[in-house]
Structure 1
Amino acid sequence: MFRSIPFVFLFLVVNTTIYSQQIYKRTLKLMGSRFDITVVAKDKIEADQFIDQGVSEITRIEKLISSWDKDSQTSNINNNAGIKPVKVNIELFDLIQRAIRISELTDGAFDISYASMDNIWKFDGSMKEMPSQDKITSSIKKVGYKNIVLDRENATVFLAKKDMKIGFGAIGKGYAADKAKELLINLGVEAGIINASGDMNTWGKQPDNTDWKVAITNPLNKENAFALLPVVNSAVVTSGSYEKYVILNHKRYSHIIDPRTGYPSKGIVSVSVFAPKAELADALATSIFVMGIEVGLNRINQLAGVESIIVDDKGDVHTSNNIKIDK
């Protein structure tokens, strides 16, 4: 369920005209990925102070949700799978609870327990044949969000199966973008963008009072953008499979794996989701790869304030009901 986001596909269009306030941007590596933090401020000193606060918040989130940090609460949950419940910070508890709700919404296409899967699929060019059905079946035997047991009264999380694991690779950067945005708004930053490797969250307007806009291009035909859309106090996330895939038996398989079956998704090369929060958009973008175009758009069309643009492996563009573009 991990994603790679080439920046050529989705980028913000920024008007850099100088007004009483200016746009300041810093690019850095956080959570193992590229982050671009943009704020509107009166001068560079003020902007740097704000951006430093945003970086601190993202770093805090990483320490909370990282499964690579052996001392994190997430690692503690995983280390006690099948053994005992683990008491956690209420913030992490709530994030896991929301993740389970998205699993229910997507019929398990999104599942943070995907981390339990064996790495039997290789997308580095070394894989020449399909894994056996036995290996695939074995790979997913510990996966299943219904085995994540929550106890709100005691703020505990219990993974019911031994060696079961959870991971936030398909939702963590979106959540970090949301929390950094929330913090900066509370600090008085009137406008800005948090771009977490393609998980973008915006608020306010540019100094000339125009909306932030995002240009989207077809990854199979990058010559021209087919859409230039405003992003108004909301998030847009793009998930792409066009750089990381394998071709077996003349079929193209994405690196995004269906946690229910153990097989890679196919037929879609990119998904963009517009939603009120990056956390939700992040999870849904991954889920649509797994659900497929028809089911994915049907699900999106049932959600208020959520829209999507899908590009299939033939280069054709599909949109949810409220997005109209010249295809």
Structure 2
Amino acid sequence: MKISLWLAASIAFIAATACSPPSCAQSRTPEDVSPPTRLKRFETRTQAMGSNLDMVLYAESLDAARAAFENAIDCLERHSIPLNHYVAESEVNQLPSLSARSPRPISPVLARAIERSRQWFGWSQGAFDSTQRETIQLWSRARRLKTLPDPEAIQKALQRSTWEKIELREDAQRSMTITHEGPRLSLDVGGLAVGLLLDDMMLAIRESGITSALINAGGDIIVSDPPPNREGWSISVAGLQWGDAPLLNVELRNGAITSSGDLNQFAMIDGVRYGHIIDPRSGRPVSQRRSVTVIADQAIDADAGATALAALGHEESFRLSERMPIREVYYLWLPENETNPHFRTWVYPSVNAPTR
């Protein structure tokens, strides 16, 4: 699920419950019994990034939990500002005004988003392309107005989109600058911005001294160590259509999980279903119904990976995903004129994810 970037800063503490060891029917000797944990479970929910933002963590006190939650929200507020497409004055929205061959300083957050976007463009062989902002906007408008975009406008947008004309460089003061050679620089980093923000929020929670936490931004999820006396955080992978039972449950620790598909965002235009997943190589929405769930070490890669593999389709995804910094893939697709979705999963047990 891709969610827009905006923030409401209020925090409501929902619950704080003692975490007790699970019951066990098997008898134990005194040497086998672990000391009771002092950690308690704390939860909070707020509105952020266009959806519910849920955070769960285990701490020894309400004060410790409150500090961690507030640090995470403060991090989200600061780091989301440069990436916010819905604020005209945001840093990413100022890029189109950049003159050609004129370096402009950019924030570390935006520089990370752009550099990772460039890497994912290579890993996906062009199926993840943040330079396709104009193409995405044309199809977003088409779904809203229920009218197909002008084919000539699509072709012009595709021709203006290229990474070859963009350069990131670190200057003498170790600040990042961006330069482009084309007539107009327009980027959409929404395909991985939520993941980037979740990574930063989890880092803020870790720096607060909390080692067991979960953050859920409308279905984009990152977790650290599991709850006490648990092997992992139990997370359900949804089916392809509304009302479907969960496809499966996964036990996740120190990783992130994101799904992308056309379950929620689509439009019927002239009797044809057009989803929101755009293949930037063709400039058109993918035609086959699909849902892909990706697990990765970092949320930024789970986020980008789900977007890229949804655009690629299951066959190309299987061929290319081994080079990507992801752990697991769960792929559902519905072939034309069939009623039952097909399912495939693959796992890469040893992944060396690039550091940020």
The TM-score bracket by the shorter chain reads 0.7 to 0.9
C-alpha distance in 2, partners of 1:45/1:135? 55
- Give a deviation string over 1:102-155, Cα, whole Å, max 9, x none: 111111111122223373334656425x44432321232322222222223462
Structure 1 residues 304 and 132, CA gap change in structure 2 (3 angstroms): closer
Structure 1 residues 45 and 265, CA gap change in structure 2 (3 angstroms): same
Say which SS state the counterpart of residue 3 (structure 1) adopts.
coil
What is the one-letter code of the residue matched to 2:93? S
Structure 1 residues 29 and 148, CA gap change in structure 2 (3 angstroms): farther
- Give a deviation string over 1:211-246, Cα, whole Å, max 9, x none: 101111313263422211111100101112112113
C-alpha displacement at 1:285, in angstroms?
A: 0.5
Aligned ranges 1:1-327 → 2 under 5 Å? 3=2, 18-19=19-20, 20-82=38-100, 84-117=102-135, 119-121=137-139, 122=141, 124=143, 126-127=145-146, 130-153=148-171, 155-220=176-241, 222-248=243-269, 251-303=272-324, 305-313=326-334, 314-321=340-347
Structure 1 residues 250 and 319, CA gap change in structure 2 (3 angstroms): farther
Say which SS state the counterpart of residue 185 (structure 2) adopts.
coil
Structure 1 residues 205 and 228, CA gap change in structure 2 (3 angstroms): same
What is the one-letter code of the residue matched to 2:115? Q
C-alpha displacement at 1:41, in angstroms?
A: 1.3
What is the one-letter code of the residue matched to 2:44? R
More moved, 87-96 vs 287-296: 87-96
C-alpha displacement at 1:192, in angstroms?
A: 0.4
Structure 1 residues 219 and 276, CA gap change in structure 2 (3 angstroms): same
What is the one-letter code of the residue matched to 1:285? A
C-alpha distance in 2, partners of 1:146/1:33? 35
C-alpha distance in 1, partners of 2:136/2:194? 23
Structure 1 residues 4 and 245, CA gap change in structure 2 (3 angstroms): farther
What is the one-letter code of the residue matched to 1:78? P
What is the one-letter code of the residue matched to 1:280? D
Q: Contact 2:123–2:323 (CA<8 Å) still a contact in 1?
A: no
1:12 alignment partner in structure 2: none
2:14 alignment partner in structure 1: none
Structure 1 residues 104 and 216, CA gap change in structure 2 (3 angstroms): same
C-alpha displacement at 1:69, in angstroms?
A: 3.3
C-alpha distance in 2, partners of 1:287/1:168? 13
Identity of aligned residues (%): 20
- Give a deviation string over 1:29-64, Cα, whole Å, max 9, x none: 223333212211123332122111100111111013
Q: Contact 2:224–2:255 (CA<8 Å) still a contact in 1?
A: yes
What is the one-letter code of the residue matched to 1:146? E
C-alpha displacement at 1:85, in angstroms?
A: 1.8
Say which SS state the counterpart of residue 120 (structure 1) adopts.
helix
TM-score, normalised to structure 1, is 0.85
Q: Contact 2:127–2:308 (CA<8 Å) still a contact in 1?
A: yes
C-alpha distance in 2, partners of 1:316/1:118? 28
More moved, 253-262 vs 152-161: 152-161
C-alpha displacement at 1:93, in angstroms?
A: 2.1
C-alpha distance in 2, partners of 1:118/1:221? 25
Say which SS state the counterpart of residue 295 (structure 2) adopts.
strand
Say which SS state the counterpart of residue 232 (structure 2) adopts.
coil
C-alpha distance in 1, partners of 2:236/2:136? 37
Structure 1 residues 62 and 90, CA gap change in structure 2 (3 angstroms): closer
C-alpha distance in 1, partners of 2:160/2:295? 32
Structure 1 residues 35 and 78, CA gap change in structure 2 (3 angstroms): farther
Say which SS state the counterpart of residue 207 (structure 1) adopts.
coil
Larger radius of gyration: 2
More moved, 161-170 vs 249-258: 249-258
More moved, 251-260 vs 98-107: 251-260
More moved, 205-214 vs 118-127: 118-127
RMSD of aligned residue pairs (Cα, Å): 2.6
More moved, 292-301 vs 241-250: 241-250
C-alpha displacement at 1:184, in angstroms?
A: 1.0
Q: Contact 1:309–1:317 (CA<8 Å) still a contact in 2?
A: yes
